[in-house]
Chain A
Amino acid sequence: MKLGWAAPVLALLFITVGWAQEEKPFEPEYSSVFYYLATARQPVELERQPVDPIYKGKTFLYVIPSEKSPVRFSAGDDLQFIVRVTEDFEKAAATIQFFRFEPLNEKRQLLLKKSDFISNKSSLKLETQKYGQFSLKIVPSTKLAPGEYCISRTTIRQGYCFGVDATPADVGARPADSRAQ
């Protein structure tokens, strides 16, 4: 049949167009930059802060300017974050760390034992899974109590911070401390 060759070409065209139009998940352009992954809107970059420790004997003190992060969520929000990584996913997942900071004297502070920090033992609990082609999705294991938080990697010098505010329903009913996770 003379026109037999045209059918596969057309089929290829439709497959190509369909594949190109398939919705791909958002993945950050830059590696090791954390975003809040919103379900109904564009991902939000968290507050980026340098986190060089102050050495105090066998502890590290991390200090971030201002008591509150400008990036705010509500205690009831489903918080999930994404970060693009260059390593394989298991190796990258082991480097993710997540801390709660205490607001004090117009700063956010965190005091950690050096050994716990190096072995990444003092991080709050997180679930990590592969997201898209190059990224990790990170979800806190339990709902976060109101407070100030930073997420980072053991391999970088930046922390990505945000705050969680109490919802009106929470006021008066004190939520469980997330550090008890």
Chain B
Amino acid sequence: MHNVAGLPVRKPRQCLSLNSTECLLKFASLIVVLFLVGAAWADDAKKLGEPESLSVLYYVDSSAQLVPLESQVVRRIAMYHALGFAGATTAYAVKGERSPVRLKAASKREFVIRLEGSLDPLETVQFYHVNGVNGSRVARIANFDVLDRPSNPKPNPTVVDFNAAKYGVSSFKLVPIQTLAAGEYCLLIKTGSNWPKTVPGFCFGIDVSGN
């Protein structure tokens, strides 16, 4: 076989078996390329949808989509007993007895938040089970006697314990340790070095399956 210039053209050798060094190296190169393409593809697949805004909480649904929670302003209030003569209870309160965001009861719940810098979500987020009281949702946090001294509280049943793990590049997923029972919940975000009287909160309700 000759080309247009009349020079002989070398027929490409077909690698039907791996009995030559050239074919062996070609095969190895192909494997390497496939490996690198696969690794890059797997890395892409691992990328998770992260919140765009800082300190906004989302629920992660079963298809890994971020579902916004009810955004609220949470106020710290004092509820006086016998006009204060029997002490008081401080609590966090949110308007409305029921969140418009409803989730079905399920064994696994995950929430996602993007935090500024290197904040620890266990320090920055507090997770409460709240109860409907007189048109509000309330989480009791401490009791005080008539002299405003903290009185002996029992372990706070309204606190929901959770774990936090890295999610994507700059977010965290929050995973409650216990299955969440039906009811109303709010997650509070610390905005400064202390917990001020009003903080942003993200609320939702869980309905019993089938409701």
B52 at the interface (CB under 8 A from A): no
B61 at the interface (CB under 8 A from A): no
A146-181: contact bitstring with B at CB < 8 Å (1 yes, 0 no)? 000000000111100000000000000000000000
Evaluate contact between B28 and A155: CB separation under 8 angstroms: no
Known: A87-B118, A156-B123. A52 touches B156 (CB 8 A): yes
| Interface magnitude class on chain A | 20 to 34
Dominant secondary structure of chain B at its interface with chain A: mixed
Evaluate contact between A32 and B122: CB separation under 8 angstroms: yes
Among B35, B152, B163, B164, point to the contact of A16 (Cβ < 8 A): B35
Evaluate contact between B120 and A10: CB separation under 8 angstroms: no
* B side interface size, CB within 8 A: 30
Once the chains are docked, how many angstroms separate the CA of A28 from the CA of B55? 24
Known: A50-B161, A52-B156. A13 touches B35 (CB 8 A): yes
Evaluate contact between B163 and A33: CB separation under 8 angstroms: yes
Evaluate contact between B165 and A29: CB separation under 8 angstroms: yes
For B22, B32, B119, B122, the residue with the greatest tally of chain A CB atoms inside 10 Å of its CB is B122
A residues 52-94 near B (Cβ < 8 Å) are: 52, 54-55, 57, 85-88
CB distance from B77 to the nearest CB of A (A): 19
Known: A3-B21, A31-B165, A33-B163. A155 touches B32 (CB 8 A): no
Evaluate contact between B159 and A30: CB separation under 8 angstroms: no
16 CB contacts below 8 A, A to B, read A2-B22, A3-B21, A3-B25, A6-B26, A10-B25, A10-B29, A16-B35, A30-B175, A31-B164, A33-B163, A48-B177, A52-B155, A54-B150, A55-B150, A155-B120, A157-B122
